[in-house]
Structure 1
Amino acid sequence: MPPRDTSGVPADILLVEDNPGDVRLTQEAFKEGQICNTLHVVTDGVEALDFLHRRDAHADAPRPDIVLLDLNLPRKNGDEVLDEIRADSTLERLPVVILTSSSAEEDVVQSYELQANAYLTKPVDPTEFIETVRSIQEFWLSVVRLPPCDGD
């Protein structure tokens, strides 16, 4: 898969976030940054896995190019979601960026042990939060060369 800025194909991004304010700020970052990628939002860990496995209400979901994953989620937390992603041969190479309010060292260590691709603490300031989301998009979907998706 070529870098996104040369492919002309919008990326599919899965945001796993239960905080409506953070969802809104992420959507605003995409809008203000004129990011033409498609943002899909799910609000808990079980729904994230349903989306990724194309189950139930998400049977027609696209395979995302990247997952932005909060750790503190209802029903199944981010660590559990990440662990299941890495255990699945069709999802194991999917880039997962932890985007969470936790700055606890044990959360950082645990996320990397579970093979997160990056760990970012959400800035409290809305302007900084928007800039962080824009930088994620620019780096992961314009600069980085991603592996091809399996299971499509």
Structure 2
Amino acid sequence: MQIIIAEDDHDDRVLIEDALLENGIDAKVTTFVKDGEELMELLNATKKLPSIILLDLNMPKKDGRQTLVEIRDDARLKHIPIIIYTTSQAEEDIKLSYKHGSNTYFTKPSKFSELVELIASIKSYWFDNAKLGKEK
């Protein structure tokens, strides 16, 4: 299980990493990138694609909205599950994220305990129950 997390905020990155560890997810399976441009460079440079991507919508250079569309338009990448993880609660962002192929949309919680619960939910569904397709 490989996870890429696209998140530009350093504090949020630390909190996510701590919440992953609280849920028994080894930091070795996680790669952080700071924006959509860096995410696309990484995806295009690697042979081993991630099992899942956590994608923030509000990032510099190339935001999550643009990146989501780019991933879904790429035959090699479009099968990767994408979880939107963002501060935006805008109905338009939610609708457009699903329209453009996100698998799930979460608003960042305000408390660390809620983040730990959220990561537990993601782990339970995506890691323990969902059947993730393998790259051919």
Unaligned ranges ≥5, structure 2: none
TM-score, length of structure 2 as denominator length: 0.93
Alignment-derived partner of residue 46 in structure 1? 37
Q: Do 1:16 and 1:43's aligned partners in 2 also have CA atoms closer than 8 Å? A: yes
Q: Do 2:23 and 2:119's aligned partners in 1 also have CA atoms closer than 8 Å? A: no
Q: Do 1:51 and 1:61's aligned partners in 2 also have CA atoms closer than 8 Å? A: no
Which amino acid letter does the alignment assign opposite residue 100 of structure 2? L
**CA distance, structure 2, for counterparts of residue 46 and residue 145 of structure 1:** 28
Alignment-derived partner of residue 133 in structure 1? 119
**CA distance, structure 2, for counterparts of residue 124 and residue 93 of structure 1:** 31
TM-score, length of structure 1 as denominator length: 0.84
Structure 2 SS opposite 1:99 = strand
Q: Which runs of 4+ in 1 moved over 3 A?
A: none
Return the index of the structure with the highest Cα Rg.
1
Unaligned ranges ≥5, structure 1: 1-10, 55-59
Alignment-derived partner of residue 89 in structure 1? 75
**Greater RCO between the two (CA within 8 Å, min separation 6)?**
1
Aligned residues with identical type, % of pairs: 37
